[in-house]
Each structure stands twice: as structure tokens, then as C-alpha cells.
């Protein structure tokens, strides 16, 4: 830990471990929607709100993350958010009250909102020119961990003790299994170094509050927010509803689990590949090509369901790449770490307000029509917004804060 290179490696490890917990706890909900609905005596469509609660919470809490970080520091704020994430995951799985499922999900959403906002800024601060590559690995870890969450949720919930299945509560609890590891690593590696740096350097005025207000008047920040919201809408629609779609078409639990896991693993590959493309083309067509390919995948799910796994691969690759592009654009189009944190908070507040509607509208459209064609119109609307925002961002514009 004494040399800068070793310290950077350990910081990367800590960032990676945090990323493992940023999607696992919410990705595990989708495969268990039918089980939760059955135990509650409601339709799976009515539980679309359960998948949207984290997004709504992100929209509300994201603008506050930078304010908290300005007072106690970015690194300490991440520590607090990981602790809250662990508590929320436990709370959600307690079954003595029906409210626990919803209240625990709210706390999970609040904890993730803070980390969502600050991690791109921390990466920009600590890794400099390596930001695109680190953001690619970070995004890939999000997708890979989401795949793990969906892969373990069903098997754990249906594992038996004394002839009785553990149930969906155990499946949801299992999605938080790596949180303690990330929390310990973050405290020992990043927060300890942060305290040492604070003691070694004199305090300087913090521009964060001014930046946080000014960023809301930036046109580029608004375009980035639309891109973030549109890519999130697509991801959470598919992550939540691929499993119910497959179940409705007669797929077994094993096949469905394989499908949703494949979606997330392909997302991981897409996240890793995106920075390589961005490296060679700063004004990349990538951000406009992704929604076009996703549209092909959506049409395939409607018109050629026999090739469902092909369309899942296409959607997974593009959703993962779009997340990586979105986070990288926030970091690259911001002049410094404070601005990156502000842009990230603003983008995610606006973006997740848009994204929160996706799974709910998709579920309502399914309940109204009884099929999947009408719900996919909701997904297509999100892809149209993704294409438009991506096209505008091709000119390489950066966030210019008004004075």
C-alpha cells in the first residue's frame, strides 16, 4: 500500500467490490416476482411497482448525495451507504409484516442512490486517464453481479430444509451475501487512505454546493440525464420482465433462470466492450447504434419467440454497453470530480424518474392486454429517447456550468 501503483490496485479492488453490490439486491426481485405475488395473493403485474421503488428512491435521493458527501466526504458517504444497504436487505427479507418487503426495498434504494451518484466521481478523482477502462470494469461488475443475483435467487428460494422450501425471503436475503466483504474492504482500503490524505493536506474550500446548483442549468447535463434515464428504462424493463415472459410461454424454472442469467452476463460483456469502442472513437456512433440493436431484439421477442435466447443475448449486450457508455459520458464530459458528482446526481435524479415508469407501465400494459405486444411499445418508447439523446451527444459536447 506504500507505493502509488499498489495503492491504485487496491483502490480498484475496493471499487470492484462495491460494484458487485450495486445491482445484485434488486436484480434478484425479477425471478421471484411470481413467488412473491402468489404468497401475497396478487398478480405479478401489480408487483411491477416493487421493481420501480428503487428507481423512484434514486430519483428522490440522488440530488442529496452530493450534499452529504460535501459534509462528510465521498469515501465516508460510501461507507454509510453500504451499511444501509446491508440493513435494507435484511429488513426486506423479514416476513413478520407485509410492509417489510416495501420498506426494506425503499432503504435499499436510498443506499444504492448515494453510491450510484458518487462512484463515477470517485473513479474520475482516483483514476484520471484510466477512467473509461475502470468505468467499463465497474459497469461490467454491475451486470455480472446482477446475473449472480438472478442466478441464486430461485435456487436458494426453492432449496429445502426438513422438506420445506426456504421461500422467496431467503432468495432475496442471499442477494446481499457480498455486502459485508465490500464494506470491510472499503473501510480498510479507501477510507483509511482518505483519512491519511486529509491529515497530510490542508483543507480547501469545497465548491460542491455551488456546482450542485449550477449543473441544473446545463443543457448537456439534461441530455446526459435523458440518456441515463432511457438506458435505465430499457434495462429494468428487461431485467424485471424477462423471467415472467419466459414463464408465460411455458419455460421451466431452470430454463428461465438460465435466460435471465444470460441476459446479465451478456450485459457484463457489453460493459467491458463499450470502453474499447469509445477509446477509438470519441464521437462514437455506439450510443446511437445500441438502441437500434435493442429494437431488433424487442421485435424478435414479439415475432420470433422460438429464438428467445438469441434476443436475450442481443438485449443483454446492448443494455450493458449502454450503462457503461452512460457512466463514462458523465465522467468524461465533466471537467472535474465535483462537477462529475453533481452531473451524476442530477442525471440519476432525472433519469431514474423516467426509468421508474418503465416496469410499472410495462406491467400495466400486460395486465390490460393479456399479451406482450402492447407492453413492448413501452420499451420502444424508451429506446426512441435513448436514440435521440445519444444522437445529440455525438458532437462531443461537455458540461459548461453557468457562472
Q: Which residue has the cell 430519483?
A: 59
Tell me: pLDDT of 394 over 80.
Answer: yes
332: exposed, middle or buried (Cβ count in 10 Å: 0-12, 13-18, 19+)? middle
Tell me: pLDDT of 387 over 90.
Answer: yes
One-character DSSP codes across 340-387: HHHHHHHHHHHHHHHHTHHHHHHHHHHHHHSSSHHHHHHHHHHHHHHH
Q: How confident is the model at residue 210 (pLDDT cuts 50, 70, 90)?
A: low
Instruction: Please report the pLDDT score of residue 313 as a whole number.
Output: 94
Mean pLDDT of 100-105: 89
Least confident of 82-86, 172-176, 314-318, 327-331: 327-331
Tell me: pLDDT of 194 over 60.
Answer: yes
Torsion (CA) 100, 106, 109, 114 in degrees, nearest 10: -120
* Domains identified in the chain and CATH numbers: 4-194+208-395 (1.20.1250.20)
Local structure of residue 306 (DSSP, 8 states) = G
Give the span between the Cα atoms of 165 and 94, in whole angstroms: 16
Instruction: Please report the pLDDT score of residue 45 as a whole number.
Output: 62
Grid cell locating 143: 451486470
Give the span between the Cα atoms of 324 and 67, in whole angstroms: 25
Give the span between the Cα atoms of 326 and 385, in whole angstroms: 13
Residue 48's H or E segment, with its range, is helix 48-72
Give the span between the Cα atoms of 238 and 323, in whole angstroms: 14
Count CB-CB contacts under 10 A for residue 355: 27
Percent of the chain with pLDDT over 90: 20
Instruction: Please report the pLDDT score of residue 38 as a whole number.
Output: 81
The string of pLDDT tens digits covering residues 292-333 is 999 999 899 888 888 989 999 999 999 989 988 888 888 878
H helices of 1-45, where?
4-19, 24-27, 29-40
Grid cell locating 66: 452530493
Instruction: Please report the pLDDT score of residue 184 as a whole number.
Output: 93
Average of per-residue pLDDT values in the chain: 82
Give the span between the Cα atoms of 217 and 36, in whole angstroms: 42
Most confident of 5-9, 94-98, 123-127, 356-360: 123-127
Local structure of residue 161 (DSSP, 8 states) = E
Give the span between the Cα atoms of 328 and 132, in whole angstroms: 6
Residue 160's H or E segment, with its range, is strand 160-161
Give the span between the Cα atoms of 259 and 246, in whole angstroms: 8
Q: How confident is the model at residue 366 (pLDDT cuts 50, 70, 90)?
A: confident
Is the distance from CB of 61 to CB of 110 less than 8 angstroms? yes
Q: How confident is the model at residue 205 (pLDDT cuts 50, 70, 90)?
A: very low
Give the span between the Cα atoms of 172 and 169, in whole angstroms: 5
C-alpha distance from residue 323 to each of 141, 272, 294, 391 (Å): 11, 11, 13, 16
Give the span between the Cα atoms of 84 and 104, in whole angstroms: 10
Q: In whole angstroms, what separates CA 281 from the centre of its chain?
A: 25
Residue 233: partners with Cβ closer than 8 Å, 6 or more residues away: 354, 355, 357, 358, 379, 382, 385
Is the distance from CB of 19 to CB of 138 less than 8 angstroms? yes
Tell me: pLDDT of 113 over 70.
Answer: yes
Give the span between the Cα atoms of 57 and 98, in whole angstroms: 19
* DSSP SS3 for 259: helix
Grid cell locating 101: 418487503
Instruction: Please report the pLDDT score of residue 179 as a whole number.
Output: 94
Give the span between the Cα atoms of 282 and 127, in whole angstroms: 19
Instruction: Please report the pLDDT score of residue 242 as a whole number.
Output: 85
Q: How confident is the model at residue 26 (pLDDT cuts 50, 70, 90)?
A: confident
Instruction: Please report the pLDDT score of residue 200 as a whole number.
Output: 46
Report the first-to-last Cα separation within the chain, whole angstroms. Answer: 40
162: left (phi over 0), alpha (psi -120 to 50) or beta: left
C-alpha count within 13 angstroms, C-beta hemisphere, residue 365: 16
Q: How confident is the model at residue 132 (pLDDT cuts 50, 70, 90)?
A: confident
Give the span between the Cα atoms of 16 and 135, in whole angstroms: 10
Q: What is the pTM of this model?
A: 0.74
The string of pLDDT tens digits covering residues 243-259 is 888 888 888 878 887 88
Amino acid at each position: 500500500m506504500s507505493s502509488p501503483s499498489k495503492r491504485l490496485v487496491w483502490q480498484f479492488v475496493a471499487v470492484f467490490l462495491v460494484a458487485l453490490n450495486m445491482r445484485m439486491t434488486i436484480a434478484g426481485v425479477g425471478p421471484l416476482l411470481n413467488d412473491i405475488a402468489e404468497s401475497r395473493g396478487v398478480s405479478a403485474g401489480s408487483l411491477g411497482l416493487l421493481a420501480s421503488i428503487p428507481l423512484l428512491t434514486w430519483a428522490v435521493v440522488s440530488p442529496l448525495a452530493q450534499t452529504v458527501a460535501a459534509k462528510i466526504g465521498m469515501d465516508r458517504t460510501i461507507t454509510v451507504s453500504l451499511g444501509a444497504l446491508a440493513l435494507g436487505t435484511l429488513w426486506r427479507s423479514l416476513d413478520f409484516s407485509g410492509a417489510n418487503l416495501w420498506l426494506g426495498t425503499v432503504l435499499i434504494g436510498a443506499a444504492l442512490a448515494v453510491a450510484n451518484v458518487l462512484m463515477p466521481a470517485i473513479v474520475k478523482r482516483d483514476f484520471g486517464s484510466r477512467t473509461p477502462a475502470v468505468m467499463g470494469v465497474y459497469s461490467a461488475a454491475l451486470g455480472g453481479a446482477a446475473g449472480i443475483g438472478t442466478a441464486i435467487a430461485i435456487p436458494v428460494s426453492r432449496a429445502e430444509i426438513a422438506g420445506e422450501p426456504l421461500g422467496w425471503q431467503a432468495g432475496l436475503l442471499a442477494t446481499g451475501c457480498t455486502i459485508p466483504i465490500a464494506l470491510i474492504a472499503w473501510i480498510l482500503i479507501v477510507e483509511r487512505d482518505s483519512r491519511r490524505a486529509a491529515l497530510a493536506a490542508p483543507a480547501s474550500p469545497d465548491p460542491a454546493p455551488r456546482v450542485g446548483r449550477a449543473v441544473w442549468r446545463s443543457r448537456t447535463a439534461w441530455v446526459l440525464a435523458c440518456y441515463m434515464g432511457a438506458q435505465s428504462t430499457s434495462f429494468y424493463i428487461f431485467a424485471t420482465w424477462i423471467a415472467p415472459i419466459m414463464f408465460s410461454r411455458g419455460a421451466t424454472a431452470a430454463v428461465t433462470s438460465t435466460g435471465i442469467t444470460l441476459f446479465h452476463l451478456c450485459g457484463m460483456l457489453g460493459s467491458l466492450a463499450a470502453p474499447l469502442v469509445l477509446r477509438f472513437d470519441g464521437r462514437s456512433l455506439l450510443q446511437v447504434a445500441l438502441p437500434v440493436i435493442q429494437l431488433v431484439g424487442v421485435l424478435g421477442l414479439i415475432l420470433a419467440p422460438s429464438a428467445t435466447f438469441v434476443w436475450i443475448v442481443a438485449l443483454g449486450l446492448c443494455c450493458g454497453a449502454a450503462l457503461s457508455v452512460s457512466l463514462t459520458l458523465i465522467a468524461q464530459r465533466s471537467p472535474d470530480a465535483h462537477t462529475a458528482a453533481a452531473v451524476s446526481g442530477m442525471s440519476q435524479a432525472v433519469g431514474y424518474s423516467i426509468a421508474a415508469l418503465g416496469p410499472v407501465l410495462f406491467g400495466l400494459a400486460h395486465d390490460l392486454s393479456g399479451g406482450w405486444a402492447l407492453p413492448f411499445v413501452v420499451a420502444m418508447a424508451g429506446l426512441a429517447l435513448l436514440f435521440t439523446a445519444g444522437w445529440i451527444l455525438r458532437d462531443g459536447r461537455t458540461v459548461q456550468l453557468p457562472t
